[in-house]
Structure 1
Amino acid sequence: MTEAALNVLSFLFLGFFLGMRHATDADHVVAIATIVSRERSVVGSALIGAAWGVGHTVTVMAVGAAIIVFGVVIPPRLGMSMEFAVGIMLVLLGVLTLTGSRADGAAHAHVPDVHDHLHAHGDYLHRHLHGHGPGAHGHADEQTPLARLDCGFGRIALYGWLRPFVVGLVHGLAGSAAVALMILSVIRETVAALGYLLLFGLGTIVGMMLITLILSAPFTFTAVNLPKFNWRLRVASGLVSFAFGVVLIYGIGFAEGGLFTDAPIWEPH
């Protein structure tokens, strides 16, 4: 094997480990922690991480291939818009988590003998804090959130992975240009550069699965043994996601050289 081939092979393996490192970026961890905060299964959490990683890889491959193969140039305002979308998504994740936690916390605070387990309203299967005494259920049967969607698609296995997949897609948009530009500065061969992107994506999937396994452990344990503390953890994850999203929105959109200024300055990172 020639020295050039060894260098390319080494760089490809480096892409895999850099993908694992990429999964630990703060905005990625915050987003996935918010998603797995209501997960009750460690295995389910790992699959959520895999779905996020697949979504991220799809976008990185698509955008990166356009830059590497076709020489597409991303304007600064478009690049910043993709990163701005991550901030919006984190805010929405935080709001959804806090809204659900508020409802659960209200039921837990005012109604005795409440608990959390899987139960059904006809064919609508879900879980939330509730009791079996008068007025202790927490909501009327017809007031279940997203009931129509869950009833229509809840039996489809992929339905539960759709949200992390979409979140991964958005995060892939924010970082794909930087990854592709870094590759082009080192690897000039198209096939080798695309191979790097693929291994980078595989590393991201593996890394995010490991992260979700670690993050899900306290949520899974406290959901069964310490329901009040579990509620506090979910509130904390929602607040962190919301606050982190607001900081990103301000920094990318309104700070000096931001998206909504006259002369946006974009440095892919």
Structure 2
Amino acid sequence: MTFASILLLGFVLGMRHATDADHVVAVTTIVSRERSLRNAAFIGALWGLGHSITLFLVGGALVLFRLTIPPHVGLGMEMVVAIMLIVLGAMNVTNAMRRIEEAAGGRKSSPDHAHGHEHAHEHRILKGASLMQLGRALVVGIVHGLAGSAALALLVLTTIRKAGSALAYLVIFGVGTIFGMMFLTMAMAVPMAIAANRFAQVGRVERAMARATGLLSILFGGYLAYRIGVVDGLFSMHPQWSPE
């Protein structure tokens, strides 16, 4: 296999890597209220950028210095991802409930005021993604890169011997991940875009999706935490861990 074909394979695998279950769940909590395909793509790109930065720094260090990660450390990095999913889900559910209370209070006080508030909220979303969304996407991508860096470095070490070529592979893999997540987040934004065009009460759809994705993230994060902590034995004397 030529080096060019290896890089092409890295790009394809990077795009596929973006669709891993924990990645999809995490990003869904961020774009669950996004109506703009452009904004969704930008959020996905930032997630992929953060993810790629961590993969290159951590994975690159492992490749260059031929380091190995102890099982407790590897499982600990994966546990951080599980905790992050739970936190993201809780934030989505809490924010959705707060918006429900605000909407109910606005309807009781003044229907015209509530409608104006909803219109202003819609205008803000259509104008651009909030800084909180963008910052959250970048941070979540960086954290997610911790869990995947060991597996990727191990794959590179078993296939590419030259350090320069291995680093190039990491970069191309990261680029593929960025593009894969961009397409994924755009696809996730399509239902909200359709709802915005077809339904007058799109705010209710937003809140329902935020609660649903939040609960999904909490449940999936809890499952990962149980598997890592109990099944794989993070808190035991003899953990069982292999980079995946």
**TM-score (norm: length of structure 2):** 0.87
Name the one with the larger helix percent: 2
| CA displacement, residues 201-226 of structure 1 (integer Å, 9 cap, x when unaligned) | 00000000000000012123335634
- SS of 1:21's partner is helix
- Offset at 1:158? 6.2
Q: Is 1:229 aligned to 2:202, yes or no? A: no
Give 2:214's aligned residue.
Answer: 238
1:266 aligned residue (233, 241, 244): 241
- SS of 1:254's partner is helix
Give 1:44's aligned residue.
Answer: 39
- SS of 1:117's partner is helix
2:79 aligned residue (81, 84, 87): 84
Task: Say whether the 8 Å CA contact 1:223–1:230 is kept in structure 2.
Answer: no
Task: Say whether the 8 Å CA contact 2:33–2:209 is kept in structure 1.
Answer: no
AA matched with 2:84 = M
Matches within 5 A, 1:8-157: 8-109=3-104, 111=107, 113=111, 114-115=114-115, 116-118=118-120
Larger Rg: 1
Pairs aligned (count): 231
Matches within 5 A, 1:210-229: 210-223=183-196, 225=199, 226-227=201-202, 228-229=204-205
Distance 1:56 1:117 in 2: 35
Aligned-pair identity (%): 47
Task: Say whether the 8 Å CA contact 1:77–1:259 is kept in structure 2.
Answer: yes
Task: Say whether the 8 Å CA contact 2:74–2:241 is kept in structure 1.
Answer: yes
Distance 1:243 1:199 in 2: 33
| CA displacement, residues 13-43 of structure 1 (integer Å, 9 cap, x when unaligned) | 1000000000000110111110012324221
Q: Is 1:168 aligned to 2:163, yes or no? A: no
Change (3 A) 1:264 1:102: same
- Offset at 1:159? 5.9
| CA displacement, residues 164-208 of structure 1 (integer Å, 9 cap, x when unaligned) | 111001110000110110111111111111111110000000000
Give 2:225's aligned residue.
Answer: 249
AA matched with 1:82 = M
Moved >4 Å (runs of 4+):
157-160
Unaligned runs of 5+ in 2: none
Change (3 A) 1:107 1:221: farther
Distance 1:239 1:32 in 2: 14
Distance 1:213 1:57 in 2: 19
Unaligned runs of 5+ in 1: 1-5, 120-124, 128-156
Name the one with the larger strand percent: 1
Distance 1:247 1:62 in 2: 28
Change (3 A) 1:242 1:61: same
- Offset at 1:50? 0.4
- Offset at 1:78? 0.6
- Offset at 1:93? 0.4
AA matched with 1:248 = L
AA matched with 1:215 = M
Distance 1:160 1:230 in 2: 15
AA matched with 1:117 = H
Give 1:190's aligned residue.
Answer: 163
